[in-house]
Structure 1
Amino acid sequence: MKLLTFAASSSSQSINKHLATYAASLVTYADIDVLDINDFEMPLYSSDRENESGIPSLAQEFLDRIAQADAIIISFAEHNGSYTAAYKNLFDWASRINPKVYQNKPMVLLATSPGPGGANTVLTAAVNSAPYFAGNVKASLSIPSFYDNFDVDTWQLTNTELRQQLQTTMTTLQ
């Protein structure tokens, strides 16, 4: 199985990238492709820009990476209760090529934050909207209080209950 994993965040210190990569490592039978959305930085989407310059080739490259995967893990950072601007822009450009951005791939959607909310607001929005974009969401999980529950030195969830929930969540991709 080829597993595409990424954080919907452009932060070089993204805790969601830590979570997405850790979650992918739990799928021991998978070939893991870790995508960095910083490699897909494009001008802000607008219909005027699209009409003047066309769609950037990076949007197609993003869709190609999804097409090459058998399954997808995305961990969402939350900015003011919503998607990060970087992810939303990438998604908007890609959806101009193919509105079925997720291409019917089985998906696990995750989110985390330093606080007790665990970015649950954006995760709920992502889970609810994914089917409109051909996302086959198998499971989702929010990890609250990241730094209290994840040891970045050992790359492990230290909270036993959350670790078990994540392991169960990842089995939905089999």
Structure 2
Amino acid sequence: MAEILAFAGSNSSTSINYELVKYTASLIENHKVQTLDMARYPFPMYSADEEKQKGFSNSLIEFKGYIQQSQGLILSVNEHNGNPSGYFKNLLDWLSRLERRFLEDTTVFLMAASPGKRGGIGAMGVVQDILPRFGAEIASTFSLPSFGQVFANGEIIDQTLKEQHSEALDIFLQKLN
């Protein structure tokens, strides 16, 4: 039984990516899944001055601990103008200052959801290129476009997308074992 950490790269209280994360986590059996709402994790904007003056916040150290206790990571990133949100980039900046390879030996199921037809693929592509630099192994990816039309009552309602999500999740779980 592996420990899996699940969260979205968004700090919005109405994050559709967090909705996708919760749905994904609900499908997992035989593993311990911890789901985190990042709206509860505010971090100051990274700067060398901030780090020098104040060091690392307790919430950042706590969050890094959750990552290091996990063998797997379910992550859904939001997209702002074709890139990951500033919040998520900032989180990566802080975590990499604590420990450069903070995702060493971590298997990742990387997802993105958006209200648009591209499904956050721009942000997902950027993150897919960045995470291995920190030690992550991207096991599988999934993009959910047109969120408002294909996701309802806490689940994917479009059958084709539901099957694609299930296949990507199965690949992640197989690599985790």
Structure 1 consecutive aligned stretches of length 4 or more whose deviation exceeds 3 Å = none
Does 1:39 pair with 2:45? no
Name the SS of the counterpart of 1:20 in structure 2: helix
**Distance in 1 between residues matched to 2:41 and 2:95, nearest whole Å:** 10
Sequence identity (%): 33
The answer on whether the counterparts of 1:2 and 1:69 sit within 8 Å (CA) in structure 2 is yes
Q: How many residues align?
A: 172
Counterpart residue number, 2:159: 160
Counterpart residue number, 1:143: 144
Counterpart residue number, 1:102: 103
**Distance in 1 between residues matched to 2:49 and 2:14, nearest whole Å:** 33
Return the letter of the residue paired with 2:162: R
**Distance in 1 between residues matched to 2:95 and 2:130, nearest whole Å:** 15
Structure 1 residues 1-174: aligned runs within 5 Å = 1-151=2-152, 153=153, 155-172=154-171, 173-174=173-174
**Distance in 2 between residues matched to 1:25 and 1:134, nearest whole Å:** 26
User: Alpha-carbon deviation of 1:126?
Assistant: 0.8
RMSD (CA atoms): 1.2
Name the SS of the counterpart of 2:20 in structure 1: helix
The answer on whether the counterparts of 2:71 and 2:105 sit within 8 Å (CA) in structure 1 is no
User: Alpha-carbon deviation of 1:58?
Assistant: 2.0
- Choose 40-49 or 8-17, whichever is displaced more: 40-49
User: Alpha-carbon deviation of 1:169?
Assistant: 0.6
User: Alpha-carbon deviation of 1:104?
Assistant: 1.9
User: Alpha-carbon deviation of 1:78?
Assistant: 0.5
TM-score (norm 1): 0.93
- Choose 25-34 or 6-15, whichever is displaced more: 25-34
Name the SS of the counterpart of 1:101 in structure 2: coil
**Distance in 2 between residues matched to 1:157 and 1:40, nearest whole Å:** 27
**Distance in 1 between residues matched to 2:163 and 2:20, nearest whole Å:** 14
Which stretches in structure 1 are left out of the alignment for 5+ residues?
A: none
Which stretches in structure 2 are left out of the alignment for 5+ residues?
A: none
**Distance in 2 between residues matched to 1:42 and 1:123, nearest whole Å:** 22
**Distance in 2 between residues matched to 1:86 and 1:158, nearest whole Å:** 29
User: Alpha-carbon deviation of 1:28?
Assistant: 1.8
**Distance in 2 between residues matched to 1:102 and 1:21, nearest whole Å:** 21
